[in-house]
Amino acid sequence: MGKSIRDFPIFFTHITRLMNGFLPQNFNLDAHLQRYPPDLHRLPNFNRDHFVHILSLIYWIPARNKDLRERMENGYVPINKQLLQGKVHDYLPYFDYAINTGVLERDGVVIKGKKSQGYRFKPPFRQQPPVPVEYVTRAFCEGSKKSFQADVEKIRKEYNDTYDHLLRWLRPGKLAIDADTAGKVLLRRREAQLLNPALQEKKRSRRRGQPRQLKDPNDQYAYALANVEAIAQGSMFCVVDGTGGRLHTPLTTLKSELRHLLTYNGQRLVSVDIANSQPYLAAALFNVNNPKSQAGARRLPQAIKDIERQQQTKYKEEITNPLMLETLSELSEKQDVKHFMYLVGTGELYDFLKEKYTETFGEQYANKRELKSALMEVFFSSNAYRGSKTKNFFEELFPSVSRAFALIKRVDKRHLPILLQQLEAWVILERVTKRISRRNPQIPLFTIHDSIVTTKPHVDLVERLLEEELTKLTGISPTLRREEWSPESAEFTEWCQRWERVEEKGLLALV
């Protein structure tokens, strides 16, 4: 599962090296270099590929990090110069050149150990879609393979070959995508959202008391296209985060609808995931002292003890609660906990909450996605936050479950979601996929957090072994969902049709 939950390392962005860079559509690089000769701006040894690479990071860094995109202020992309040194040693003059010649601007905000200086394109480049630009030197053209190999070796060294059975399938050229179709749909989506702001998406995070910010359609287009191009060019990357232990690959960063355009060695892919995964994995918390439970026998108790140690360090003698493991064991006998586990196992939790919510408040959630989003506040918000009607409602229905969540989040609200991520990473990455790989080493295997992806002939075995391992873990049989990725699928077809036509007056005609 990776590092201890006690460690919350600072995330610096991983630089991905590609065969092509990306520049704004209206930025003429050759004309700019002619107008502003680099040797007159303290760059006598100017390297064109170095400059393209640095500018491309404005697109590539947020494309690879969804959480960073949510946190970015005003479009400024933090760039960790320590990592950049490995690719462009004399990077500072290039940044100065880009700023002094009107290409980039920086926010000037540096927080030691937490935030690097942020950069973004200046108007009019900022609102333009990116276009690929070829690197001209062999070193940059071959940088993708070297970068992927370096990522693999780093993961092998740090995690003792734990993920080799998955990394072996990230072969450049085997995993492919219909980049032409993806690019056309993304461009139509960008045009539709620019013409009709009502279609623009909102960020997940927000500052207290303020509405959620809208996502910039230009940025969304740039980041989605960057991930498409990375796969199309065979530019694989992989990294294991140091908190939840999740494995991040091109599949995890690609926009979900565009996964229907993926193939492996010419074959269609199928994903199998856990329905209601966060509530389902939370059920394992109440099995930690059950000797027959995999959760009780292995990783979960140690992770909970780590949290307990943090709480004791902060509160010292002020702690009056009993030991967390004992409390969770006691709560597992409560009726509302048993009911919660039943609903999770049958996949009826959301329907139950939706029905009870309507009975209590006389109003309904617009759709299941809205309900799931509201329920996440139960898992992710701090104990002090009382502004959520859904959270308060959940606590009334499941007081013992809520007490367990609050106990884990007593010091830090991140403890519960990280604990669930660690549990998810262990069962998916280390238990199920390893068992599948031992059974048949020729089965292609990819993961997207709580999902396992394989080719169609092998999906039955994947689904059966996933169900067996999850049942051992929690004591309840999971509800699994199977989805075949295909451009003919209803999900992809409906998503494409949303952006099909843009009316002359600027309003989207929904199909």
pLDDT over 90 at 260, yes or no: yes
What CA–CA distance (Å, rounded) separates 361 from 103? 53
- Under 8 Å between Cβ of 286 and 332: yes
- Under 8 Å between Cβ of 93 and 43: yes
What CA–CA distance (Å, rounded) separates 458 from 262? 17
Determine the distance from the C-alpha atom of residue 303 to the mean position of all C-alpha atoms in its chain, rounded to a whole number. Answer: 22
Q: In what helix (H) or strand (E) does residue 97 lie, and over which residues does it extend? A: helix 91-100
Give the phi and the psi of residue 263 in degrees, each rounded to 5.
Answer: -140, 160
> Considering only CA atoms, which of 361, 129, 318, 333 is closest in space to residue 224?
129
> Taking residues 101-123, what's their average pLDDT?
86
What CA–CA distance (Å, rounded) separates 370 from 101? 46
Q: In what helix (H) or strand (E) does residue 481 lie, and over which residues does it extend? A: strand 480-484
Strands 20-24 and 130-134: antiparallel
More confident residue, 291 or 15: 291
Alpha helices in 236-334 (DSSP H): 250-253, 277-282, 294-297, 299-315, 324-331
> Taking residues 106-130, what's their average pLDDT?
83
Two structure tokens written together for 191:
């045009």
Give the phi and the psi of residue 371 in degrees, each rounded to 5.
Answer: -65, -45
What CA–CA distance (Å, rounded) separates 123 from 103? 8
> Taking residues 427-443, what's their average pLDDT?
92
Give the global pTM.
Answer: 0.83
Q: In this predicted structure, what is the pLDDT of residue 88?
A: 80
Q: In this predicted structure, what is the pLDDT of residue 27?
A: 95
Convert the pLDDT of each residue in 180-222 to its tens digit. 999 999 999 998 998 888 888 887 665 555 677 788 888 899 8
Two structure tokens written together for 414:
């991140």
Two structure tokens written together for 485:
């990725």
Between 106-120, 307-321, 497-511, the lowest mean confidence (pLDDT) is in: 307-321
Convert the pLDDT of each residue in 144-165 to its tens digit. 556 767 777 888 788 777 889 9
pLDDT over 50 at 509, yes or no: no
Give the number of other Cβ atoms within 10 Å of residue 60's Cβ.
28
Q: In this predicted structure, what is the pLDDT of residue 490?
A: 92
